[in-house]
C-alpha cells in the first residue's frame, strides 16, 4: 500500500492537476525472463492512442506509472508495451493485456498490468528450421505454412511453397547474368550446385582493360583480347616521333642535343637532354634586402624571389613573411610580431559610412559588408601557439567616427595592427573568436521523467552561475574560470550550457578584439565583447524545458605607445540565463538578456514568463554572475564576465567617467 500511495503522490506533485482532476496509477508486474529493457504505457480512447514517457526497467520487478487525466475521457484503455532497447525504439514480442480503466475525481485508482512474452499465433518463417509458434511442428510440417514460400533441396528450383507437409512446386531458376560481355546473355542452371552456366559469345566486342590494345574481341576461352596500339607523337621536339607502348602509355627515345625552346624567358641556348627535356643557360636576376633570387623566372622574363627569414633587419625595420620591409613598433606588441604582418596600405583607414561588418571566417573580399568606399583593407591569418587562429589586419592609421559602427563576426578573433594613430568615437562590437575553452564551457542540465534542471552559465574571468534544479534533478555545476591571466592568447568567451530537454547550441560567448597602435590611441566611444543571453525554456505538458545558461563575455586588448581613454565604455559583460518553461497549463519562459555594451549593469536573467519555471541568473559584469533558481524546470545560470587588458608603454590615461566592466587587468604605465 505504501508504494501505491507514493506513486499517486508523484503524479499529483509532478503534473499539478486541478483540484477536480482525476488520476490513475498503473502497477506493471515485470516477468523476470523478459528481454525488454524499456517500457511505455499506451493509453487510448475513442480510437486515439498516446504513449507515456519511456521507463527503463533495469531489473525491476514492478513499475508504477502515474497518469493524469488531462484531456482523456473518463473511460480509457491501458496496456504496457515492451522494447528491446533502452530508448524504447525497437518493439519486443512482450506486452500486457489491454485493460479498461475509469478516472475518478474522488480517488486515484490503480490499474493492474503484467508485461509478459507474446508468442506468435502461427509459424512465422517456413525455412528456418525452428518451431516459431512452439506447437511441436516446424516449417512445412506445420499446417500454418501451407502455400507459404520455402527453400527446396532442388537447387535449381525457385518460388517453391509448402504443400502437404513438404516443400515443392516452383519454377526453374532464370540465368540472365553472364560473368562478362564475352558470354551469351542467358544460360542454364546446373542441378549439381545450382549455379548458372553460359556459352562464349565468340568475336563479340569487349574491353580487355589494357590501354595498349585496340579493337578488342571475345575469344574461344571467354577472354577479351585486342591488337597493340601504335605510338606516334609530335608535341615534344626532344623526343622521337614513334615510340613503344609500355606500362599503360607510350615511351619515346630522346633527341639528344637537338635545338629546342623550353618556353622559359630566363634561359638561352636551349638544347634537348638525354632525358628528353629542353633547358638552357639562365639570365642574371638581382635580389632585394628582403627577397633572394631562386634561379627561377616567370614566363614573361621576370625573376622569382624567395623571402628571407622573417625578422631579418632591413632599411628602417624588419623583413616580414611576405618579403616586405616594415618599420618597427616603439614597443613589442602582444599576440603578434611585426614580421607576421603584410605591408599596410599607405593611407589611414577611415570608417564613417554607418554600420560595417567584418566576417573573420571568410576569405578574400567577401569578408567585408558595407566597407566604406575607397578605404584600404590588408589582412592575413595568423596561427597562435596556444589559441585559435586570428585575422591580423595591417593599417597605417584607423579612425571610426561617432556616426559609424563596426561589428565583427566569425570564427576567428581579430587584431588591428596600426602603425600610426587610432581615434575611436564610434562603436566596435565583437562577436568573433572561436574559443578554446577547457573548464569554461557551461554544463548541460539534467533531464528526468518529471523535471529538468537549467544549464549552467559559462565561466571565463570567474566561474559561471549554476543552473537551477528541476523536479527530481539537482543543480547544474557551473563552467569554471579559465586559467588565463594575461592577454595571450587572444580568444573569445565560452559557451553557456543547455537546459534539460533543450536542443541546439548553447549561448555564445563574446568575441575577442585587439587594437595595437604604434602611435597614440584615443578612445571616446564604445568597444564591447558581450556574451549572449541563454535561450528560454518552453512549455511542455509534463515537464517544461529548462532555461539555457548565459555565454561569458569575451576579451578586449588595447595597447598603444600613448593610450588615452577619455570617455565612453570598454566592456566584456556576460549574458543572463534563460527562464525555465511551464507545464500542464503553463507558458514559455523568457530568454536571458545579452551582456550590456555601454554599461556595467549585469545582464538580467529571464523571468516572469512561466509560473513554475525557475528564473535565470544575472550575467557577470563588475561582479560575478548568479545562479538560476530551482523550480519544476530550472533557470539557466548567468555567464561570467570576460577580460579587459590595457597597455600604455609610453603613457596611459583613463578618465574617471569611463565605464569599464569588468575591472581591467592593467599593465605598467596605466593608472
- Check whether 113 has a pLDDT greater than 50: yes
Question: Are the C-beta atoms of residues 126 and 150 closer than 8 Å to each other?
Answer: yes
Residue 442 grid cell: 557551461
Is residue 25 situated within a structural domain? yes
- Check whether 1 has a pLDDT greater than 80: no
State the DSSP H helix or E strand holding residue 554, giving kind and residue range, or none if neither. none
Least confident of 315-319, 499-503, 604-608: 315-319
- Please report which confidence band the pLDDT of residue 671 belongs to, taking 50, 70 and 90 as the band edges: low
The phi, psi pair for 340, rounded to 5°, reads -80, -15
The mean pLDDT of the chain is 87
Is residue 47 situated within a structural domain? yes
Is residue 663 situated within a structural domain? no
- Please report which confidence band the pLDDT of residue 165 belongs to, taking 50, 70 and 90 as the band edges: confident
Quote the CA–CA distance of 319 and 308 in Å, as a whole number: 7
Q: Is the dihedral of CA 54, 56, 61, 62 positive or negative?
A: negative
Model pLDDT for residues 290-300, shown as the tens digit of each residue:
887 777 777 66
- Check whether 282 has a pLDDT greater than 80: no
pLDDT of residue 14: 33
Strands (E), 539-619: 555-565, 569-571
Is residue 46 situated within a structural domain? yes
State the DSSP H helix or E strand holding residue 24, giving kind and residue range, or none if neither. strand 23-30
- Burial state string for 295-313 with b = 16 or more CB within 10 A and e = fewer than 16: eebeeeeebebeebebeee
Smallest Cα–Cα separation from 33: which of 94, 87, 81?
94
Model pLDDT for residues 569-594, shown as the tens digit of each residue:
999 999 999 999 998 777 999 999 99
Model pLDDT for residues 366-376, shown as the tens digit of each residue:
578 898 888 88
CATH number of the domain residue 76 falls in: 2.60.40
Is residue 271 situated within a structural domain? yes
Question: Are the C-beta atoms of residues 12 and 59 closer than 8 Å to each other?
Answer: no
Higher-pLDDT residue of 444, 310: 444
Model pLDDT for residues 485-498, shown as the tens digit of each residue:
789 999 999 999 99
pLDDT of residue 365: 55
Domain count, the chain: 2
The phi, psi pair for 358, rounded to 5°, reads -115, 125
Higher-pLDDT residue of 298, 70: 70
pLDDT of residue 4: 35
Alpha carbon 48 to its chain's center: 39
Is residue 495 situated within a structural domain? no
pLDDT of residue 10: 34
The phi, psi pair for 364, rounded to 5°, reads 70, -160
Judge residue 507's burial from the number of C-beta atoms within 10 Å of its C-beta, 0-12 exposed, 13-18 middle, 19 or more buried.
buried
Is residue 563 situated within a structural domain? no
Quote the CA–CA distance of 625 and 458 in Å, as a whole number: 9
Indicate the residue among 117, 146, 172 that finishes a domain: 117
Percent of the chain with pLDDT over 90: 50
Model pLDDT for residues 523-562, shown as the tens digit of each residue:
999 999 999 999 999 999 889 999 999 999 999 999 999 9
pLDDT of residue 363: 65
Q: What is the mean pLDDT of residues 29-34?
A: 89
Domain that holds residue 265: 261-307
Model pLDDT for residues 209-254, shown as the tens digit of each residue:
888 888 889 998 889 998 888 888 878 899 888 888 877 778 888 9
Question: Are the C-beta atoms of residues 493 and 553 closer than 8 Å to each other?
Answer: yes
Q: What is the mean pLDDT of residues 635-651?
A: 94
Is residue 236 situated within a structural domain? no
pLDDT of residue 48: 85
Amino acid at each position: 500500500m505504501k508504494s501505491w500511495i507514493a506513486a499517486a503522490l508523484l503524479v499529483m506533485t509532478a503534473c499539478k492537476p486541478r483540484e477536480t482532476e482525476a488520476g490513475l496509477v498503473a502497477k506493471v508486474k515485470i516477468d523476470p525472463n523478459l528481454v525488454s529493457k524499456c517500457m511505455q504505457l499506451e493509453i487510448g480512447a475513442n480510437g486515439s492512442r498516446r504513449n507515456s514517457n519511456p521507463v527503463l526497467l533495469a531489473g525491476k520487478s514492478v513499475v508504477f506509472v502515474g497518469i493524469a487525466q488531462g484531456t482523456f475521457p473518463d473511460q480509457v484503455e491501458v496496456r504496457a508495451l515492451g522494447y528491446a532497447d533502452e530508448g524504447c525504439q525497437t518493439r519486443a514480442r512482450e506486452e500486457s493485456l489491454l485493460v479498461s480503466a475509469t478516472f475518478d475525481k474522488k480517488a486515484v485508482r490503480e490499474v493492474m498490468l503484467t508485461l509478459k512474452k507474446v508468442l506468435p499465433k502461427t509459424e512465422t518463417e517456413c525455412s528456418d528450421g525452428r518451431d516459431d509458434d512452439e506447437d511441436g511442428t516446424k516449417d512445412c510440417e506445420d499446417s500454418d505454412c501451407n502455400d507459404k514460400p520455402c527453400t527446396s533441396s532442388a537447387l535449381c528450383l525457385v518460388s517453391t511453397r509448402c504443400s502437404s507437409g513438404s516443400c515443392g512446386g516452383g519454377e526453374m531458376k532464370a540465368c540472365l547474368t553472364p560473368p562478362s560481355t564475352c558470354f551469351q546473355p542467358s544460360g542454364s542452371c546446373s542441378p549439381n550446385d545450382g549455379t548458372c552456366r553460359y556459352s562464349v559469345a565468340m568475336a563479340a566486342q569487349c574491353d580487355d582493360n589494357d590501354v595498349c590494345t585496340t579493337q578488342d574481341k571475345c575469344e574461344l576461352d571467354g577472354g577479351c583480347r585486342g591488337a597493340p596500339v601504335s605510338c606516334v607523337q609530335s608535341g615534344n621536339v626532344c623526343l622521337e616521333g614513334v615510340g613503344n607502348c609500355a606500362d599503360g602509355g607510350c615511351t619515346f627515345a630522346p633527341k639528344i642535343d637537338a635545338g629546342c625552346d623550353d618556353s622559359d624567358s630566363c634561359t638561352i641556348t636551349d638544347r634537348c637532354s638525354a632525358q628528353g627535356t629542353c633547358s638552357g643557360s639562365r639570365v642574371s636576376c638581382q635580389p632585394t634586402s628582403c627577397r633572394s633570387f631562386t634561379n627561377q623566372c616567370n614566363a614573361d622574363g621576370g625573376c622569382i624571389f624567395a623571402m628571407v627569414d622573417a625578422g631579418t633587419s632591413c632599411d628602417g625595420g624588419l623583413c616580414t613573411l611576405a618579403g616586405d620591409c616594415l618599420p618597427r613598433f616603439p614597443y613589442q606588441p602582444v599576440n603578434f610580431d611585426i614580421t607576421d604582418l603584410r605591408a599596410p596600405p599607405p593611407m589611414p583607414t577611415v570608417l564613417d559610412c554607418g554600420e560595417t561588418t567584418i566576417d573573420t571566417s571568410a576569405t578574400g573580399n567577401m569578408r567585408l559588408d558595407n566597407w566604406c568606399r575607397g578605404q584600404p583593407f590588408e589582412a592575413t591569418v595568423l596561427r597562435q601557439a596556444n589559441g585559435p587562429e586570428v585575422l591580423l589586419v595591417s593599417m597605417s592609421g584607423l579612425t571610426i567616427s561617432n556616426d559609424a559602427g563596426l561589428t565583427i563576426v566569425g570564427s576567428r578573433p581579430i587584431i588591428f595592427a596600426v602603425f600610426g594613430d587610432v581615434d575611436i568615437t564610434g562603436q566596435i562590437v565583437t562577436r568573433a573568436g572561436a574559443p578554446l575553452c577547457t573548464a569554461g564551457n557551461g554544463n548541460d542540465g539534467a533531464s528526468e521523467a518529471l523535471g529538468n534542471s537549467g544549464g549552467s552559465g559559462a565561466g571565463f574571468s570567474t566561474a559561471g552561475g549554476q543552473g537551477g534544479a528541476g523536479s527530481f534533478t539537482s543543480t547544474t555545476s557551473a563552467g569554471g574560470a579559465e586559467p588565463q591571466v594575461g592577454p595571450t592568447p587572444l580568444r573569445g568567451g565560452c559557451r553557456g550550457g543547455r537546459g534539460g530537454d533543450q536542443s541546439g547550441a548553447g549561448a555564445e560567448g563574446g568575441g575577442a578584439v585587439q587594437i595595437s597602435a604604434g602611435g597614440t590611441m584615443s578612445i571616446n566611444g564604445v568597444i564591447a565583447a558581450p556574451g549572449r543571453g541563454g535561450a528560454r525554456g518552453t512549455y511542455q505538458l509534463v515537464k517544461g524545458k529548462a532555461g539555457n545558461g548565459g555565454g561569458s563575455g569575451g576579451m578586449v586588448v588595447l595597447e598603444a605607445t600613448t593610450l588615452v581613454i577619455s570617455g565612453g565604455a570598454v566592456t566584456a559583460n556576460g549574458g543572463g540565463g534563460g527562464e525555465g518553461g511551464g507545464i500542464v497549463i503553463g507558458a514559455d519562459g523568457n530568454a536571458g538578456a545579452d551582456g550590456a555594451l555601454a554599461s556595467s549593469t549585469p545582464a538580467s536573467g529571464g523571468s516572469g514568463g512561466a509560473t513554475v519555471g525557475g528564473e535565470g541568473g544575472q550575467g557577470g559584469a563588475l561582479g560575478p554572475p548568479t545562479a538560476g533558481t530551482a523550480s519544476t524546470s530550472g533557470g539557466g545560470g548567468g555567464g561570467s564576465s570576460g577580460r579587459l587588458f590595457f597597455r600604455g608603454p609610453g603613457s596611459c590615461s583613463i578618465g574617471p567617467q569611463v565605464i569599464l566592466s569588468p575591472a581591467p587587468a592593467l599593465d605598467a604605465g596605466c593608472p
